[in-house]
Chains A and B, each alone.
Chain A
């Protein structure tokens, strides 16, 4: 079974803090993705990576950056968290098209 884990289920941060969200997959997948999910807006792609050290912007990259130093790990970074980044963050990995998701991190920025 594919396993995708995320470092925290719930996180509370203050405005202006630097925030790291970590995602790890154990299936040697090439592709990894970060989404945010907001009520009424569905899932929106923030960034994805198709190989180590490679990244591509998704639909809403503003205010975020990513890091992929190892194949199994994909990090999402909020350089200076803002209240409008309060959301559910979902990580996924895939080999071809099928994506497998982690449990999500619910981030609250106060």
Chain B
């Protein structure tokens, strides 16, 4: 079946690292994504990882993929107040010849001083 699960809430202190976790079910997913949504806005593509990679780093962001456990994580180093947002994990799921994205419910990250 199709299911992507995330914890709903994470609170961190400014300057600490944040780790947002996600589990997915489709082992055939070729790409996995992280999107960020600020209040009242659409989803912004943050980063993605191809399924044959274990890790991808992009400035303060590190994505780790454990295919065996179907576990994806997003680490934000030196978390800032501007990182407060909802973070969505998504996997590609082929559906009738087309690629459909299956989203998790989103993790709300709150950054406090």
Q: Which residues of B come within 8 Å of A, CB atoms? A: 30-31, 33, 35, 40-45, 48, 88, 92, 96, 98-101, 103-106
Contacts and interface: CB of A to CB of B under 8 A. Distances in A.
Q: Is the interface of A mostly helix, strand, loop or mixed?
A: strand
Interface residues of A, number: 23
A42 B105 contact: yes
10 contacts: A43-B103, A48-B98, A48-B100, A56-B96, A97-B30, A97-B31, A99-B45, A100-B45, A101-B44, A104-B41
Given A45-B100, A104-B40, A106-B40, 11 more contacts: A4-B42, A48-B98, A48-B100, A50-B98, A98-B33, A98-B45, A98-B48, A99-B45, A100-B45, A101-B42, A101-B43
Q: Is the interface of B mostly helix, strand, loop or mixed?
A: strand
